Amino acid sequence: MRPLSFALALALGFLTVGCEKKNEQGEGGARSGGTPPPPQATTASGATAADTTVPGAPSGGAPVSNADVILLGEVGSLTGSEATFGISTRDGIELALKEANEAGGVKGKKVAVRVYDDQGKPEEAANAVTRLISQDRVKMVLGEVASSNSLAMAPKCQSGQVPMITPSSTNPKVTAVGDYIFRVCFIDPFQGFVMAKFAKENLKFSRASVLKDVKSAYSLGLTEVFTHKFTEMGGKIVGVEAYSKGDSDFRAQLTAIKAQKPDAIYVPGYYTDVGIIARQAREIGIKVPLLGGDGWDSEKLWELGGSAIVGSYFSNHYSPDDPSPRVQTFLTKYKAAYGGIPDSLAALGYDAANVAINAMKQAPDLSGPSIRAALAQTKDFPGVAGTITLDENRNPVKPAVVLQVGSGKNKYVATISP
Amino acid sequence: MADFLQHIINGIATGTIYALVALGYTMVYGVLKLINFAHGDVMMVGAYVGYATALKMGPGTRSSFLGAVLVFLLSMACCAILGFLIERLAYRPLREKPRLTSLITAIGISFALEYGFQLNIGFLPGAAPRAFPEIIVPTEWLIIGDRDVVLWNWQVLSFAIAVALMLVLQYLVFKTRFGRAMRAVSFDHRIAALMGIPTDRVIAITFMLGSGLAAGAGILYAIKDTIVQPLMGLYVGLKAFVAAVIGGIGHVPGAMVGALLLGLVEEFVVGYTSSTWRDAVAFGFLILVLLLRPEGLFGRVTAEKV
Amino acid sequence: MQSAQATVKAVGLPYGVRGILPILLAIPVIALAQWLLIGLPNGPFVIYIASIVGVNLILAVSLNIVNGMTGQFSIGHAGFMAVGAYTAGKFSLHAKDLVISHLPAAMSDQVLFLFALLIGGCTAALCGFIVGLPSLRLRGDYLAIVTLGFGEIIRVILQSTEAFGRALGLAGIPQWSSLFMVWIWAFITVLAARRIAGSSHGRSLWAIREDEVAAEAMGVDTTSYKVRAFVVSSFFAGIAGGLFAHFVPIINPGSFTFVKSIEVVVMVVAGGLGSTTGAIVASIFLTLLPEALRSAFTAISGNAEIAQRVDQIRMPIYGLLLVTLMLVRPQGLFGNRELWDVIPRWIPRRRRAA
């Protein structure tokens, strides 16, 4: 008797809920069978699209008067093991905003950015972006660097109709989340191809092993493309080993790779692990060079990798050796503001912020859909890390550079165009 | 065949580190019947102290014999003091309370150390890993074939140090008066106190010894993996505990055997399957042992008197 | 120990309804709360925070059944939460395009959501059974390590299974959760905990906590009762995980680590081992406090840097909090006592003879 009454009570409860939802939103959302339109329209959690048309203002008493500031949001890994990614990106963004404010701002208002740290973890990134969108009411979100974190943030931005620009996430799935998500860097299908081409044609290698990081979408994506393209060009992948980001002992996997006798090892991971991998590889007797992607780009690579990483190659977005006036001006400005040479994260952060500012200037008003439309029109934008024209998937088509790791400085080796 | 040998070398290198930490665990559990969760983090602190010292010393001094010894000794001394403080402030007041309370306290200290060291304030280093400066100039001592199997000097040194320390510990526990006091306290600390043994002092010194060993292990671990980071102690600590249980908790040579065994098994599993199973191996091993032979390989079955 | 319950007997209601009367009363109250909160300007954010609070509450109250009432020491709770989250999420992922015929889409969603939750909860309960049966023979310290180990093994399995998205996790789970759902389940959990504590099952659990050997001597089948407590606790942890999966955009193994288990343990210990009220209060307080501090610091300083510091400092403070608690007040805030044991004394009314 008791379970029956319990079931009755539950049914009652759901009728209540059902009726409630109908009153709030008219007919519940139609079944569309896919991710867009946002599924949240069918629940009562209230994440309606109404938020973003409210003129952006920080909810607390910020030092500057609310109406004069356009607030952007940024999520980055300021702490955690990939701290240099977040810090460099933030520096690049802040430099761009400072210049824009000095030049008069956007539509007469100053631009400011609110930065949240996600410690390098996707769940924290999702938390931070929820706060930015629902609490701080930012106009646009810049971030993140790691593709896994961007993937965690994108659905919220899409359903909240807040345009998001990722400066350096290269996994193609990020912009595929929806039409509010943009990026200013090349994507992994291209990056994997770059390294495969370089290895096969420039270095004339025919056998390669791969050591991938199973914890990052970036690494998995690059591995897939690299193995595919390298085999297509006539090379042979002699082995694929895996590790998890944060591991410190790779000797077991490297021993297995040593036995495979490759000409090179493709390690599309982040600099914290790559440095150690290089050291341990040399230690157990591997002499061949390592190949990698833009996740290697950090000044910490030399500290962690020592002499073991010197001589290896990686694909990147721009090279500080590039003599073009745009790059050199940026280098001077960055050096004046922060000292030191900007890595590609900083350059891309700078570009992303400038693209955002440009779109806000072009847009008729500062609502989410208008900024989005203006962003989608970005064409031939002069970025430091290449000219940016966004295609129909909101990704730019840009060339990549291949750098060789020297001691303390990277050496430019080649440019590879799509 | 060559990679099999290399796996064995790697496994023993890892196992040595676990052994040094497991010795500390086993000693502390022996006298206090407490799983000192914070032990792995004391190891981490030792590694960081060593890092700071070596960095201060500069490349020439630190790779000399005296320099390296100084780094070790200084870090061991610091951790001994840390161990003493932890015991005095957190464990001694709770000695008469139910064991659950001490366990929770141990977890609290472990957490505080791990996450405290992830902050960037003052002398706290922050979460990003740092490269440990060289204090033993690495030279290859054995090469088979065209670098098919490589054995390094510091791997042999670590092993030798671990064995030496274990022998010293064994001597200490079984052949000295202090060792007898330790064993007495581990049987029943109240009766031992009645017999005139200064239990508080014995326990404090046991803690200091264990922490010193952990510091040594920390530096060897930092040399092996070339980085220090705040969470390095977490899993090492847990696995060392597993090793101690496998060998029979309270049994010194057992801890060493258990640790080497665990290191080897872990290395082979990761080498021949996938690295994601690395941590699961240790826990799986533990569960197996606890289900089949809870007293460990070398332990004695003790009946619990009510 | 539990005192006799001095509630007014609702004479006249049929036996079955009296049991679920609290839930029937709670439904409109919670529905009203949701309707009010959605109307607020930062509604979505408030709902989000309230959902997190609800999930933590369920976790704390369910862990209290094992750690508090039975006196065992389980620190692998996040593993069961993960099982619940992933199984419920996977079900929803496959079911999100289905509609139950004759029902409007919104309601059909909620029915499917309920299914998903129950699947998650039952799978977690099954895991609890598998984990509990061999380990609950072990003594306290060993049990802690073994539960930790199981939590980690569950996480590693999830991380290596292609079907669960490996390390990247599951994305695209339909966000069917609402404040109502989370809080009704929180209410059910609290009700269950209270009922267990006051029943003969509960007495056996308390007996095991006080002195296991004596309980065994008195004829309580300790292993069986311990396993039962474990299974119930894992069920609710699975429900919590399922709810969690339906209001965050992506779930990955990183959300269910050892750290999460320890956070729940801190809530239970701080509230008082054995007190459901304590678990409720502590979970609400410890979840809201960092958020409140973060908002406060952001509002004061205008940028988020200090707020980030606060978040970072939270973790070592948890550790020190545990230590201080154990040294100063090991019984936590409420000890053994419950709010509902105390309230009847404040209400002047004629009590029926027991």
Q: Work out the minimum CA distance from C184 to partner chain A, whole angstroms.
A: 10
Q: Work out the minimum CA distance from A205 to partner chain B, whole angstroms.
A: 20
Q: Of the candidates A188, A147, A151, A194, which has an alpha carbon nearest to the alpha carbon of residue A169?
A: A147
Q: Residue A405: is it exposed, middle or buried by C-beta count within 10 angstroms (0-12/13-18/19+)? A: buried
Residue C170 has a pLDDT of: 84
- The rounded Cα C242 to chain-centroid distance in angstroms is 11
Residue A61 has a pLDDT of: 32
Confidence of residue C253 (pLDDT cuts 50, 70, 90): confident
Residue B78 has a pLDDT of: 94
What are B109's two structure tokens?
Answer: 């200290």
Distance CA C196, CA C188 (A): 12
Identity of residue C106: A
CB A24: neighbour CB atoms within 10 A?
16
Distance CA C255, CA C288 (A): 18
C33-41 CB contacts, 8 Å cutoff, 24+ apart: C33/C179, C33/C183, C34/A20, C34/A44, C34/C178, C34/C179, C34/C180, C34/C183, C35/A20, C37/C179, C38/A24, C38/A44, C38/A46, C38/C179
- Quick check: B247 and B255 in contact, CB under 8 A? yes
Q: Three-class SS of residue C255?
A: helix
Instruction: Look at residue C94 and tell me whether its pLDDT is greater than 90.
Output: no
- Quick check: A349 and A328 in contact, CB under 8 A? no
Q: How many residues does chain A have?
A: 418
- Quick check: B245 and B289 in contact, CB under 8 A? yes
Question: Average pLDDT for residues B112-138, to the nearest whole number?
Answer: 80
Query: What residue segments make up the domains of chain A, in order of their start?
Result: 29-186+320-384, 189-316+401-416
Q: Work out the minimum CA distance from C151 to partner chain B, whole angstroms.
A: 10
**H-type helices in A103-216, by residue range?**
122-130, 147-160, 173-176, 188-197
Question: Average pLDDT for residues B33-46, to the nearest whole number?
Answer: 89
- Which of B231, B273, B290 would you mutate first to test chain C, the one with the most C CBs within 10 A? B290
Tens-digit pLDDT string for chain A (418 aa):
344 444 455 444 443 333 322 222 323 323 322 233 333 333 332 222 222 222 223 333 333 445 678 888 888 888 777 788 888 898 899 899 999 888 888 888 888 888 888 877 787 888 888 888 887 888 899 988 888 888 888 888 888 889 999 998 888 888 888 889 999 988 888 888 999 999 888 888 889 999 998 888 889 889 999 999 999 998 899 989 888 887 888 888 888 888 888 999 999 999 989 999 998 898 888 889 999 998 898 888 888 888 888 889 999 988 888 888 888 888 899 989 888 888 888 999 999 999 988 888 888 888 888 888 888 888 888 888 888 888 888 888 888 889 998 887 888 888 888 8
Q: Work out the minimum CA distance from B89 to partner chain C, whole angstroms.
A: 9
Which member of A244, A252, A276 has the closest CB to residue B227?
A276
Q: Three-class SS of residue C9?
A: coil
CB B119: neighbour CB atoms within 10 A?
18
Which member of C16, C42, C176 has the closest CB to residue A43?
C176
Q: Whose structure tokens read 């932890």?
A: B86
Closest chain C residue to B35 measured between Cα atoms?
Answer: C141
Which member of A80, A252, A272 has the closest CB to residue B270?
A252
Q: C65 lies in a domain?
A: yes
Sign of dihedral through CA atoms C320, C325, C326, C332?
Answer: negative
Q: C275 lies in a domain?
A: no
User: Is B129 close to A279, i.e. CB distance below 8 A?
Assistant: no
Please count the residue pairs, one from chain A and one from chain C, whose beta carbons lie less than 8 angstroms apart.
185
Give the residue with greater pLDDT, A209 vs B166.
Answer: A209
Question: Partners for B (CB, 8 Å, 3+ pairs)?
Answer: A, C
Give the residue with greater pLDDT, C99 vs C60.
Answer: C60
Q: Work out the minimum CA distance from A249 to partner chain C, whole angstroms.
A: 17
User: Is B283 close to C327, i.e. CB distance below 8 A?
Assistant: no
Instruction: Look at residue C233 and tell me whether its pLDDT is greater than 90.
Output: yes
User: Is B271 close to A284, i.e. CB distance below 8 A?
Assistant: no
Distance CA A277, CA A258 (A): 13
User: Is B225 close to A249, i.e. CB distance below 8 A?
Assistant: yes
CATH 1.10.3470 is right for the domain spanning B2-292: yes
Question: Average pLDDT for residues B27-54, to the nearest whole number?
Answer: 88
Q: Of the candidates C149, C129, C173, which has an alpha carbon nearest to the alpha carbon of residue C78?
A: C149
Helix axes C305-328, B99-116, angle to 10 degrees: 160
For A244, which DSSP code?
A: -
What are A66's two structure tokens?
Answer: 């609310």
Segments of chain C assigned E as strands: 170-171, 250-251
Domain that holds residue C196: 2-7+15-256
Residues 208-247 of chain A with CB under 8 A from chain B are 214, 241-244, 246-247
Q: Work out the minimum CA distance from C268 to partner chain A, whole angstroms.
A: 24
Closest chain C residue to A37 measured between Cα atoms?
Answer: C174
Please count the residue pairs, one from chain B and one from chain C, whose beta carbons lie less than 8 angstroms apart.
122
- Which of A87, A219, A248 would you mutate first to test chain B, the one with the most B CBs within 10 A? A248
- Quick check: A263 and A208 in contact, CB under 8 A? yes
Helix axes B252-272, B278-292, angle to 10 degrees: 130
Mean pLDDT, chain B, whole residue set: 85
3-state secondary structure chain B: CHHHHHHHHHHHHHHHHHHHHHHHHHHHHHHHCCCCCCHHHHHHHHHHHHHHHHHHHCHHHHHCHHHHHHHHHHHHHHHHHHHHHHHHHHHHHHCCCCHHHHHHHHHHHHHHHHHHCCCCCCCCCCCCCEECCCCCCCCEEEEECCCCEEEEHHHHHHHHHHHHHHHHHHHHHHHCHHHHHHHHHHHCHHHHHHCCCCHHHHHHHHHHHHHHHHHHHHHHHHHHHCEECCCHHHHHHHHHHHHHHHHCCCCHHHHHHHHHHHHHHHHHHHHHCCHHHHHHHHHHHHHHHHHHCCCCCCCCCCCCCC
CB B35: neighbour CB atoms within 10 A?
26
> In the beta sheet, which residues pair with residue A266?
A210, A291
CB C1: neighbour CB atoms within 10 A?
7
Instruction: Give percent of chain C above pLDDT 90.
Output: 27
Q: Residue A242: is it exposed, middle or buried by C-beta count within 10 angstroms (0-12/13-18/19+)? A: buried
> In the beta sheet, which residues pair with residue A265?
A209, A290
Distance CA A231, CA B97 (A): 66
| CA angle C75–C79–C85, rounded 5-degree value | 140
Distance CA B202, CA C80 (A): 41
- Which of C135, C323, C325, C327 would you mutate first to test chain B, the one with the most B CBs within 10 A? C323
Instruction: Look at residue C346 and tell me whether its pLDDT is greater than 80.
Output: no
- Quick check: A188 and A172 in contact, CB under 8 A? yes
Going by C-beta distance under 8 Å and a sequence separation of 6 or more, which residues neighbour residue A111? A69, A70, A72, A97, A100, A101, A105, A357, A360
Phi, psi dihedral angles at C227 (to 5 degrees): -65, -40
Closest chain A residue to B3 measured between Cα atoms?
Answer: A255
Distance CA A26, CA A158 (A): 22
User: Is C319 close to B276, i.e. CB distance below 8 A?
Assistant: no
Q: Work out the minimum CA distance from C247 to partner chain A, whole angstroms.
A: 9
Distance CA A16, CA A53 (A): 31
User: Is A155 close to C250, i.e. CB distance below 8 A?
Assistant: yes
- Quick check: C236 and C61 in contact, CB under 8 A? yes
What are A254's two structure tokens?
Answer: 């490297």
| CA angle C173–C179–C183, rounded 5-degree value | 110
Phi, psi dihedral angles at A13 (to 5 degrees): -60, -40
Give ipTM to 2 decimals: 0.82
- Quick check: C74 and C135 in contact, CB under 8 A? no
Q: Work out the minimum CA distance from C241 to partner chain A, whole angstroms.
A: 14
Instruction: Look at residue B25 and tell me whether its pLDDT is greater than 60.
Output: yes
Question: Average pLDDT for residues C145-173, to the nearest whole number?
Answer: 83
Span A189-316+401-416: which CATH code?
Answer: 3.40.50.2300
Residue A19 has a pLDDT of: 30
Residue A66 has a pLDDT of: 54
Q: C215 lies in a domain?
A: yes
**H-type helices in A163-310, by residue range?**
173-176, 188-197, 217-232, 251-260, 271-283, 300-305
CB A200: neighbour CB atoms within 10 A?
18
Q: Whose structure tokens read 């395009």?
A: C97
Q: What residues in A contact C254, CB-CB < 8 Å?
A: 121-123
pLDDT (tens digit per residue) in B71-93: 889 999 999 999 999 999 988 88
User: Is B276 close to A244, i.e. CB distance below 8 A?
Assistant: yes
Instruction: Give percent of chain B above pLDDT 70.
Output: 97
Distance CA A200, CA A264 (A): 10
User: Is C153 close to B99, i.e. CB distance below 8 A?
Assistant: no
CB A107: neighbour CB atoms within 10 A?
12
Which member of A255, A304, A306 has the closest CB to residue B271?
A255
pLDDT (tens digit per residue) in C16-54: 666 777 887 888 888 888 888 777 777 777 888 889 999
Which member of C38, C48, C250 has the closest CB to residue A122?
C250
User: Is C106 close to A58, i.e. CB distance below 8 A?
Assistant: no
A80 in contact with C, Cβ within 8 Å: no
- Quick check: A243 and A187 in contact, CB under 8 A? no
Going by C-beta distance under 8 Å and a sequence separation of 6 or more, which residues neighbour residue B53? B70, B71, B74, B75
Instruction: Look at residue B234 and tell me whether its pLDDT is greater than 50.
Output: yes
Which member of B97, B104, B286 has the closest CB to residue C145?
B286
For A54, which DSSP code?
A: S
A110 in contact with C, Cβ within 8 Å: no
Closest chain B residue to C71 measured between Cα atoms?
Answer: B100
- Which of B8, B14, B119, B225 would you mutate first to test chain A, the one with the most A CBs within 10 A? B225
Interface residues of B toward A, Cβ cutoff 8 Å, are 2-3, 6-7, 10, 14, 118, 120, 126-131, 138, 143, 147-150, 152, 224-227, 229, 231-232, 267, 270-272, 274-276, 278
Going by C-beta distance under 8 Å and a sequence separation of 6 or more, which residues neighbour residue A214? A220, A242, A243, A244, B275, B276, C159, C166, C167
B35-39, B134-138, C268-272: range with lowest mean pLDDT: B134-138
Instruction: Give percent of chain C above pLDDT 70.
Output: 88
Distance CA B88, CA B72 (A): 24
User: Is B115 close to C319, i.e. CB distance below 8 A?
Assistant: yes
Distance CA C226, CA C147 (A): 14
Confidence of residue B215 (pLDDT cuts 50, 70, 90): very high
Distance CA B248, CA B254 (A): 6
Span A29-186+320-384: which CATH code?
Answer: 3.40.50.2300
Q: C143 lies in a domain?
A: yes
